[in-house]
Amino acid sequence: MCGIIGYSGTRQASPILLASLKRLEYRGYDSCGMALLNGNKVIDVKKGTGRIEEVNGKVDFLSLSGKVGIAHTRWATHGNVTMENAHPFTSCDQKYALIHNGILENYVELKKQLIEKGHHFNSTTDTEVLVHLIEENMKQAKDLIDAIKKTSEQAEGAFTFLLLSQDSGEIYCFRKDSPLIIGVGNNEFFASSDITSFLEYTNKAIILENYELAILNDECKIYDLVAEKEIEKDISIIEWTAEQATKTGYPHFMLKEIVEEVEVSKHALDQDPIKLAGIVKLLHQAKNVYFLGSGTSYRACLIASIYFAKFTHRNFMPILGSEFKTYQNLFDNETVLFAISQSGETADVLEGIRIAKSKGSKVISLVNVMGSTIMRESDQYLTLNAGPEIAVASTKAFTSQVIILVLLAFALNNQLSEGKDQLNEVIDQFEIIIKQSDFIKELSKKVLNKQNLFLIGRGVAFPVAMEGELKIKEIAYIHADALAGGELKHHTLALIEPGISCIALVPNDETKDDMINNIMQIKARGGIITGISSEKLDIFDHYISLGKVALEPIAMIPILQLIAYHLSVLRGNDPDFPRNLAKSVTVL
Ligand code: F6R
């Protein structure tokens, strides 16, 4: 979590850093700060708590002058949300300013040693230790590269950082376990957690690996600190555009990204046939296949595993990223781990991948962010082709994940072209559903804007309901509970009383009759049913329609996303930035 950005070039750094920082805000938004080297070769720092606009209103980042600088947006892990704990941090001698993304695991003992050596700390963060440690190591080191190498050997955990040096006017960009990308512009360089933050200025990028250090001034030099030598790295051309990372007239990124689902799903279907065939072969050969994902991506795993069971009669068990260790004994060299992640950086998933690989398993991944760690650590990968997803709540990436996974289930059953046809029908439905957004908004206002909501579904519609539940909780801050219709009688019927609102997903498939029974159980206790179905049933109190398609539960996904979105806005929340959450979850 946290977003870091650095700039070194020929222009004033503060407007560029501020614009880039705003594009990183989805990674954390409880406090932020900026440090620039001014014309008198002094490092000026400004920081504060709150969203970037709010902090800028108080401290005026643009009043900072200089052509080299760093900026940070924070998602607090160690240390409360206070001005003192906001990055950047400076060394005692004010020669260095540092921003960090990750968690320094052994910071307590390092801090104690540094205090004993006379260092003074202003914050309760793990990060501040890094800048003092580098300062301390400089006392013995021949240069900053040497001091950073020593620091990287002493520090434990994830500590990707940017260090602004007053003496040299350079930015030292070090990567360990959190992403770091160098943007290569015209006589200017960027260093960032995410490509989208500097896409407006350049689409040329160098992706750093762990223990690599880039030094930016009027050129960019890269060192491998383990091999102790300077290295050459390829420059990748990023195909995303800067416009894709802006709201383009929509009130929120989330709404824009839901609307984009039609287009993006078509791109998702358009997979490289050779890559697809390679993955199908690997899945065929594997003795066991397990899916791995967190949050929304895990719900995509659940949906996929049902379709794989239906079409291929094989059990591809879904595992929650954070629960991987419980199942690690299942992995060996005949097993494939299929990791699903929008960001490609989720720490829980990455940990699972590393463990599985250490046991000889092959790893396939499905990611959105090109060059992400999960993509690079996988044996084979597919990309979502969804373009940048900025809203914290995943929407278009989720539908793309589902589309590709279902396509693979068809492909594994030698039905690729039938799969494409059925999925294209789903995409047509997305278009129709998105046009019903105003109707869904009205319904959300009148019927669903309650303190508690229940969602029921069976078969594939159950994990689809679970995704609806997740979104409603995440951005509307409403307590929601999704359950398989058949489970009601085992517990949750106890909570159904007159007026309780329940969303029922009723696809026209083998689950329909059972769903009708479950709906009757709710209605008998006074519950109010909003039915989502291709057929208007008498038992629905309210109804959201969609067309009859073979993969109906998947077509329902944007309806639930729109419900969550409208509920969030109705309740005065910012759906793009749900409280306490960040998009790229790089902590365990
Ligand atoms: C919810 C959401 C999160 C992510 C989860 C995994 O809307 O977006 O639950 O799905 O943090 O992230 P990725 O897919 O990047 O691994």
Q: What share of the chain is helix, strand, coil (3-state, %, to 5)?
A: 40, 20, 35
Per the CB < 8 A criterion, the answer to whether 443 and 568 are in contact is: no
Give the global pTM. Answer: 0.89
Judge whether residue 291 has pLDDT over 80. yes
The 3-state DSSP class for residue 490 equals: helix
Residue nearest atom 7 of ligand 1, based on CA coordinates: 393
Q: In whole angstroms, give the CA distance from residue 170 to residue 37.
A: 9
Q: What is the pLDDT of residues 243-259, one digit of tens each?
A: 888 888 899 999 999 99
For residue 359, indicate whether it is catalytic.
Answer: no
Tell me what percent of the residues of the chain surpass a pLDDT of 70: 100
Integer angstrom CA distances of residue 462 from 231, 236, 340, 455: 51, 41, 19, 9
pLDDT, residue 241, reads 85
375-401 average pLDDT score: 95
484 beta partners: 457
Q: In whole angstroms, give the CA distance from residue 264 to residue 349.
A: 24
Side-chain-side CA neighbours of 10 within 13 Å: the count stands at 7
Q: Is 265 in the pocket of ligand 1 (CB under 6 A)?
A: no
For the chain, the first-to-last Cα distance in angstroms comes to: 11
Domains defined for the chain, CATH in brackets:
3-242 (3.60.20.10), 247-435 (3.40.50.10490), 442-576 (3.40.50.10490)
Q: Is 401 in the pocket of ligand 1 (CB under 6 A)?
A: no
pLDDT, residue 244, reads 85
For residue 220, indicate whether it is catalytic.
Answer: no
Two tokens at 409? 């289930």
Q: Is 346 in the pocket of ligand 1 (CB under 6 A)?
A: yes
Judge whether residue 121 has pLDDT over 90. yes
27-43 average pLDDT score: 95
Residue nearest atom 10 of ligand 1, based on CA coordinates: 296
The full length of the chain comes to: 588
Judge whether residue 500 has pLDDT over 80. yes
Per the CB < 8 A criterion, the answer to whether 452 and 481 are in contact is: yes
Per the CB < 8 A criterion, the answer to whether 141 and 172 are in contact is: no
Q: What is the pLDDT of residues 521-534, one digit of tens each?
A: 999 999 999 999 99
Average pLDDT, the chain: 96
The 3-state DSSP class for residue 161 equals: strand
Per the CB < 8 A criterion, the answer to whether 34 and 45 are in contact is: yes
Largest CA distance in the chain: 80
The 3-state DSSP class for residue 429 equals: helix
Tell me what percent of the residues of the chain surpass a pLDDT of 90: 94
Q: What is the pLDDT of residues 318-374, one digit of tens each?
A: 999 999 999 999 999 999 999 999 999 999 999 999 999 999 999 999 999 988 999
List Cβ neighbours of 274 (8 Å cut-off, separation of 6 or more).
Answer: none
- Radius of gyration (Cα) for the chain, nearest Å? 25
pLDDT, residue 243, reads 82
Judge whether residue 1 has pLDDT over 80. no
Per the CB < 8 A criterion, the answer to whether 550 and 452 are in contact is: no
Q: How far is the CA of 299 from the centre of ligand 1 (A)?
A: 10
Integer angstrom CA distances of residue 2 from 75, 121, 190: 5, 21, 17
